[in-house]
Structure 1
Amino acid sequence: MKKNLKYIDLFSGAGGFSLGFDNLGFQNVFSVDIEPNFCKTYKHNFADHQLIEKDICEVSNAEIEYLKEDNDIDVIIGGPPCQGFSMAGNIGRKFIDDPRNRLFKEFVRVVKVVKPKFFVMENVARLYTYNKGTIREEIINDFEKLGYTVDCKILNSADYGVPQVRNRVIFIGSIKKQDIQFPPAEVETYISVKEALSVYPKLASGEESSKVPNHIAMSHSEQMLTKMSYVTDGGDRNEIPEHIRPKSGDIRKYIKYASDKPSVCVTGDMRKIFHYDQNRALTVRELAKLQSFPDDFVFKGTRISQQQQVGNSVPPKMAEAIARTIIKMSDKV
Structure 2
Amino acid sequence: MRYHRALFYKKQGIDPVSSECKEEKPLKRPTYVDLFCGAGGLSCGFDKAGFENLLAVEMHPKYARTYRENFPEHPLIVDDIKNIPNEKLSAVIKEREVDVVIGGPPCQGFSKAGNIGRTFLEDERNYLFLEFVRVVKHLKPKMFVMENVAAMEVHRKGKTMEDILEAFRDAGYIVPWHEVLNSACYGVPQVRRRMVMVGYRKDLVVNFSYPEKDSRIRTIKEAIGDLPPLKSGEKSTIPNHEAMNHSVQMLEKMSYVKDGGDRTDIPEQLRPKSGDIRKYIRYDSQKPSVCVTGDMRKIFHYCQNRALTPRELARIQTFPDDFIFYGTSIQIQQQIGNAVPPELAYRIAVQIREALRNV
> Could you say which TM-score interval applies, normalised by the shorter chain?
over 0.9
Which structure 1 residue ranges, 4+ long, deviate > 4 Å from structure 2? none
Counterpart residue number, 1:118? 143
Aligned pairs for 1:103-182 within 5 A: 103-150=128-175, 151-175=177-201, 176-182=204-210
Amino acid of the residue matched to residue 165 of structure 1?
A: V
Summarize deviations over 1:227-256 as a string: whole Å, max 9, x none: 110000000000000011001233431000
In structure 1, C-alpha distance between the alignment counterparts of 2:90 and 2:323, rounded to whole Å: 31
In structure 2, C-alpha distance between the alignment counterparts of 1:206 and 1:75, rounded to whole Å: 43
Shift of residue 50 of structure 1?
0.7
Shift of residue 306 of structure 1?
0.3
Identity of aligned residues (%): 56
Greater Cα radius of gyration, structure 1 or 2:
2
In structure 2, C-alpha distance between the alignment counterparts of 1:48 and 1:147, rounded to whole Å: 31
Amino acid of the residue matched to residue 346 of structure 2?
A: E
In structure 2, C-alpha distance between the alignment counterparts of 1:23 and 1:301, rounded to whole Å: 25
In structure 2, C-alpha distance between the alignment counterparts of 1:332 and 1:114, rounded to whole Å: 20
In structure 1, C-alpha distance between the alignment counterparts of 2:303 and 2:322, rounded to whole Å: 25
Summarize deviations over 1:80-135 as a string: whole Å, max 9, x none: 00000012243332211211101001000000100000000000111111111111
Shift of residue 39 of structure 1?
0.7
Tell me whether 1:184 sits opposite 2:212 in the alignment.
Answer: yes
- Aligned partner of 2:224 among 193, 197, 217: 197
Amino acid of the residue matched to residue 75 of structure 1?
A: V
In structure 2, C-alpha distance between the alignment counterparts of 1:330 and 1:10, rounded to whole Å: 20
Tell me whether 1:54 sits opposite 2:76 in the alignment.
Answer: no
- Aligned partner of 1:21 among 19, 25, 46: 46
Contact 2:206 2:356 in 1 (8 A): no
Amino acid of the residue matched to residue 327 of structure 2?
A: G
Contact 2:191 2:289 in 1 (8 A): yes
Contact 1:149 1:178 in 2 (8 A): no
Amino acid of the residue matched to residue 109 of structure 1?
A: R
Tell me whether 1:75 sits opposite 2:103 in the alignment.
Answer: no
Counterpart residue number, 1:209? 236
Counterpart residue number, 1:220? 246
Q: State TM-score, norm by structure 1.
A: 0.97
Shift of residue 138 of structure 1?
1.4
Residue 258 of structure 1 aligns to a residue in which SS? coil
User: Number of residues paired by the alignment?
Assistant: 331
Amino acid of the residue matched to residue 117 of structure 2?
A: G
Counterpart residue number, 1:332? 358
Shift of residue 300 of structure 1?
0.4
In structure 2, C-alpha distance between the alignment counterparts of 1:178 and 1:139, rounded to whole Å: 20
Contact 1:253 1:272 in 2 (8 A): yes
Contact 2:137 2:172 in 1 (8 A): no
Counterpart residue number, 1:322? 348
CA RMSD of aligned residues (A): 1.1
Contact 1:161 1:191 in 2 (8 A): yes
- Aligned partner of 2:121 among 96, 110, 124: 96
In structure 2, C-alpha distance between the alignment counterparts of 1:72 and 1:252, rounded to whole Å: 45
Residue 290 of structure 2 aligns to a residue in which SS? coil
Amino acid of the residue matched to residue 216 of structure 1?
A: E
Counterpart residue number, 2:259? 233
- Aligned partner of 2:268 among 219, 235, 242: 242
In structure 2, C-alpha distance between the alignment counterparts of 1:166 and 1:174, rounded to whole Å: 26
Tell me whether 1:258 sits opposite 2:274 in the alignment.
Answer: no
Shift of residue 62 of structure 1?
1.2
In structure 1, C-alpha distance between the alignment counterparts of 2:252 and 2:39, rounded to whole Å: 34
Q: State TM-score, norm by structure 2.
A: 0.90
Structure 1: runs of 5 or more not aligned: none
- Aligned partner of 1:297 among 316, 323, 326: 323
Shift of residue 71 of structure 1?
0.5
Amino acid of the residue matched to residue 194 of structure 1?
A: K
Amino acid of the residue matched to residue 32 of structure 2?
A: Y
Summarize deviations over 1:47-78 as a string: whole Å, max 9, x none: 11111001100000111121221200000000
Contact 1:149 1:174 in 2 (8 A): yes
Amino acid of the residue matched to residue 90 of structure 1?
A: N
In structure 2, C-alpha distance between the alignment counterparts of 1:159 and 1:50, rounded to whole Å: 32
Shift of residue 181 of structure 1?
2.0
